[in-house]
Structure 1
Amino acid sequence: MNICVYCASSQKIDQKYVELAASVGTRLAERGHTLVSGGATVSCMGAVTRAARAAGGRTVGVIPQALVDIEIADRDSDELIVTADMRERKGVMDARSDAFLVLPGGIGTLEELFEIWTARVLGLHDRPLVILDPWGLYRPLRRLIEDMYEAGFTRPDVFDAIAWTSTLDEAFAALEGSTVRVTPTAEEIGESLPNP
């Protein structure tokens, strides 16, 4: 499969997030998948691509020209696609991917998550969408979605459209499975989450 990984490009984050991204890249390559990423060399984005290549995997980077101009493009990618802007970048990443994995990240990662999640809820695709969140960064987001559902702003299938996982094994099982599993609520998971 071509697996799109959405993750952080921020360089002011705890090293554990960068290590998680590297673990994802290694596992992805070991399982014979191709990585589709944002095409940058920095932070988690760079870690996932370097690890995938080090483990023998193929990498496809998609990056807007503005980021190429500031010299953060991953020129070692097996395929580097330069787009006119961020919107085109997301469209190319979407079109090139069979599944989507969301790692801890910032507002850019959230934007990518919400676009793919909304499209799945609307029936525009049926590809797996998985969040890997070992340390619970997205727990408030999950609670927000649950509150929005209770208030009538979302449909029940918003929960069926995504898998929330906390380990690499869970994440890849959900990515490679034929259906997206529904995991327990944030409250059922509890405050203590395992390391990946």
Structure 2
Amino acid sequence: MRWIGLTGGIACGKSTVSRLLKNHSIPIIDADEIAHEVVRPASPGLKSVVHHFGNEVLNEDGSLNRRKLGQLVFGHPEKLKALESILHPLIRAETQRRRQVLLDMNAPLAIYDIPLLFETHAQDQFDAIVVVTCTKEQQKERLRRKNGWSEDEIDMRIASQIPTQFKEKEADFILENNRDEQHLLKEFHRLLAWLEEQKKQT
């Protein structure tokens, strides 16, 4: 099975591309989905996060307040490292379980949607890497529109990730999401054709 990493900078449109792939029945394992699952209410993962960061990262209903946690760790490398040391082993274990299911089904190809592929130095784990890109100004505008974050929050989130230019150099396929929806769909169909070629290499 060809194991393809799908990544991109924050607000570059990776999640949109992932949804389009799902609509075409291409197997996707979503790291963000798993990251939410391992800190669901009453889970061991959430208990570990609360033990380290305190009850202030919880909502009233006992769920994780992700924005509050983000404000605590972004811009503070030691706190971010502590959070990653809690979450990443849990995410890896669940990812491996889901990947094994696809292997057992003899899927010719599967995609791992992973925002921090390069930040976690996971390049060597993949047969090929797809990077979704856009300009930095487009990232900022999308984050303002979607999340209502302050300029400081936006700058910290972008700065916490490896620059897009580096990711593009390391990519096997670059999907440019820097224009309108019609252009994105054209790029997506180019990706589908590339994935068909990948399947032939299994």
Q: TM (normalized to structure 2)?
A: 0.36
Q: TM (normalized to structure 1)?
A: 0.37
From the CA coordinates, give the structure whose radius of gyration is larger: 2
Q: Which has the higher helix share?
A: 2
Higher RCO (C-alpha 8 Å, min separation 6): 2
